[in-house]
Amino acid sequence: MRFVLRRLGFFVLTLWAALTLNFFLPRLMPGNPALAAIGNHRGSLDPAALKVMEAQFGLGHQNIVSQYFSYLGDVATFKFGSSLTTQPGVSVGRIVLDAVPWTLGLVGLTTVLAFILGTGIGIVGAWRRGGRLDSVMPPVFVIMTVIPYFWLGLILILVFGVQLRWVPYFFSYDITLTPGLNLTFIGNVLQHAILPAFTLLITTIGTWILTMRNTMITTLAEDYVRMARAKGLPGQRIMLDYAARNAILPNLTGFAMSLGFVLGGAILIEEVFNYQGVGFLLLQAVNNTDYPLEQALFLLITVAVLVAILISDVATAILDPRTRGAS
């Protein structure tokens, strides 16, 4: 219980640090470019939204302390102002909420898939230590983890999109279709997800494989595994019930954390495929110098990570009794 409370305290503290960073970043930048950007759009903004942004970026005549507190209050009540250029005048919250499901669907599902496949391959690779799979795997996956997402995306577009014309590679569905819950539309969305999902899968699976393999190797050297062998238990049972079950813990915590990185983890893939999720929106905001939208997205991405870390801490405390005593 004390462990969980400590982690909760850390969560609150980090959240506060992220908010404070968000508040001071625009003020620390040479010339505070956000001021000019908001000033230019002053006339077209809703007064309530303008008030929120005045506090956030330091536009009004209040002093910095009262700006800081009214900023914290605005965030607590989910007021983020309105977009300047991307969708002028529309509330930032609205725009962000429209983008979130697309990223959750594409990146979230791919993360789950990469975890399951990668962990499985890692288990088998470590079990057949010295086999052909195991000796080829580490160098190949070390190299695969350094491939920049966006570049691999571009290459896959060239091969499967431009040259072979097998799959679509622009947007998340055919823009001539009307979105709706029918088979044609869903099929079309899935088709558009193939290339970006595959890109993400290839570049992330290596980490899962290597972590699982390395922990599994350590576990396989434990006495209880040797004991299981001595008892003559079937190999598959030793591999899964004895070794993998104990070795999977670091991968599980890693998985919980990676779920937090879903929102901000595939920014460039969304950009390359023009997939209208959170990352694509962030870069649109950057290109349009739409600072209120940018800051809100950064905050959303950070909070997602913090929540995932909290969940993974609690999960570890439940799954692994050893962590409960340690502080």
Contact residues toward other proteins (CB under 8 A) are 10, 13-14, 17-18, 21, 25-26, 29-30, 33-34, 129-130, 134-135, 138-139, 142-143, 145-148, 150-151, 154-155, 157-158, 162, 214, 217-218, 220-221, 261, 264, 267-268, 271, 282-283, 285-287, 289, 291, 294-295, 297-298, 301-302, 305-306, 309
Q: Give the span between the Cα atoms of 154 and 262, in whole angstroms.
A: 21
Q: How far is the CB of 179 from other proteins (least distance, A)?
A: 28
8 A C-beta contact, residue 22 and residue 295? yes
Tell me phi and psi for residue 60, to 5 degrees.
Answer: -75, -165
What number of CA atoms fall less than 13 Å from residue 107's CA on the CB side? 27
Of 109 and 286, the one with the shorter C-beta distance to other proteins is 286
Q: How far is the CB of 80 from other proteins (least distance, A)?
A: 14
Q: How far is the CB of 282 from other proteins (least distance, A)?
A: 7
Q: Give the span between the Cα atoms of 253 and 312, in whole angstroms.
A: 5
Q: How far is the CB of 314 from other proteins (least distance, A)?
A: 15
Residue 326 neighbours by CB under 8 Å, 6+ apart: 3
Q: How far is the CB of 254 from other proteins (least distance, A)?
A: 14
Of 3 and 185, the one with the shorter C-beta distance to other proteins is 3
Of 54 and 271, the one with the shorter C-beta distance to other proteins is 271
DSSP, collapsed to helix, strand or coil, labels residue 231 as coil
Of 117 and 306, the one with the shorter C-beta distance to other proteins is 306
Of 150 and 173, the one with the shorter C-beta distance to other proteins is 150
Dihedral in degrees, nearest 10, Cα atoms 150, 151, 155, 161: 20
Q: Give the span between the Cα atoms of 208 and 119, in whole angstroms.
A: 6
Task: Look at the chain and count its residues.
Answer: 327
